[in-house]
Amino acid sequence: MDKPKPTHLVEFETMLLGRYVQAGARSGAHLDRSAYTLLSRIRMEGPMSIGQLRDAFGLDTSTLNRQTAAMLRAGLVERIPDPEGGIARKFRITDEGERRLEADRSGNVSGLERVMADWTPEEVAGFAAYLRRFNTGIENLDGRPWPRP
């Protein structure tokens, strides 16, 4: 058997990572993946309209309407007038949304700390740098950069 190309190895490992992330979401996370991602983006950028979310995620309006409606029903976001005076209403995270997002994020970080317990701080930082570079490459091809702290 031929030695796999490095990109084949990356594909395989990202497939497994996706599997593990999905399994973690089923075994105790409180927010579904779409709510976690949308809330994270709104937290970074501040209140966002459906149009801004569509542009940021590349999703169709009907999908975002379903996702934001579910978040409204769960009390994770609220609709507010545009703080800058625009006509579109925007979604802002509620205190409950902040609490649940932070609880899930803390759980995720705790899980990562268990997985990486025998890694040095330099190894963890190096892995984070490679992940950032990988994600930034995807974002550059897609034309939708993700804001970072």
> pLDDT per residue over 120-147, tens digit each?
999 999 999 999 999 999 999 999 999 9
Q: What is the CATH number of the domain that holds 46?
A: 1.10.10.10
> pLDDT per residue over 73-99, tens digit each?
999 999 999 888 888 899 999 999 999
Is residue 118, in this structure, part of any structural domain at all? Answer: yes
Is residue 108, in this structure, part of any structural domain at all? Answer: yes
Q: Residue 44 pLDDT more than 80?
A: yes
Is residue 123, in this structure, part of any structural domain at all? Answer: yes
Residues 80, 136: Cα–Cα separation, whole Å: 31
Q: What is the pTM of this model?
A: 0.85
Is residue 19, in this structure, part of any structural domain at all? Answer: no
Range of the domain at 93: 28-142
Residue 28 has what pLDDT? Answer: 57
| Cα separations in angstroms, 115 against 69, 111, 123 | 35, 6, 13
Is residue 124, in this structure, part of any structural domain at all? Answer: yes
Residues 60, 62: Cα–Cα separation, whole Å: 6
Count of domains forming the chain: 1
